[in-house]
Amino acid sequence: MTIDAPAAPRSADPRSFLFVLGSSRPGGNTEILARAAAEALPPGTAQQWVDLAGLALPDFQDGRHEAGERIGGDAEDLLRDATLAATDVVLASPLYWYTLSAHTKRYLDYWSGWLGEDGLDFKARMAGCTLWGVTAMADREHAAADGLVTTLTHSAAYLGMRFGGVLFGSGSKPGDVRRDTDALARARTFLAGEAPLARFSYERVPMGV
């Protein structure tokens, strides 16, 4: 399912956001937090929302080293086109077993197929774009989400993208995150400004950067 933001006056913000919802439950804590961050964007900023749970997207089949052309379905085409049209991709995934949800991980698996798609130039077109993460979790220690953060950081680094970090919220039962006033306050500025270029965790940052 794709949900377009309501019409609004054109913004001076040249960015275009794709919000990818990766929860198995609609209207969950992670989505609430992501929408709070989106509401703080300048009026008229282009937004597209995709709920992965509402897409008939099969598990990714890796055919990069097989003969013949890989044929995608309508759901994959929608995701690929939306991803390439965005300057900023926001992955809103709850923390499931200390990493991304299955829906979100499947979406990233499809990036592997797009990397090998003839004429798409996926890596070159994603370079310079920005990846962001939003997650809600029951654990109040952000270190519990290190696996999720590493996955997003390294994925962005591989493609030459910028990485804006992860917006954390606390919540288990539906609506719990609304009581996390610190997370809601961070949401108001989370998507503002330019994010740094993503780097692998083993890379040494050059002096002066």
DSSP helix/strand/coil, 170: strand
User: At 11, is the pLDDT very low, low, confident or very high (cuts 50, 70, 90)?
Assistant: low
Give the per-residue pLDDT at 65: 55
- Among 127, 196, 131, 130, residue whose Cα is nearest residue 160: 127
Q: What is the distance between the alpha carbons of residues 85 and 174, in angstroms, rounded to a whole number?
A: 32
Contact 152, 163 (CB under 8 A): yes
Instruction: Write down all domains in the chain, each with its CATH number in brackets.
Output: 2-6+14-62+70-190 (3.40.50.360)
CB atoms closer than 10 angstroms to residue 188: 12
CA 207 distance to own-chain centroid: 29
How confident is the model over 23-57, as pLDDT tens digits?
988 999 999 999 999 999 999 999 999 999 999 88
Which tokens is 205 given? 């940052």
pLDDT in tens, 114-126: 998 989 999 999 9
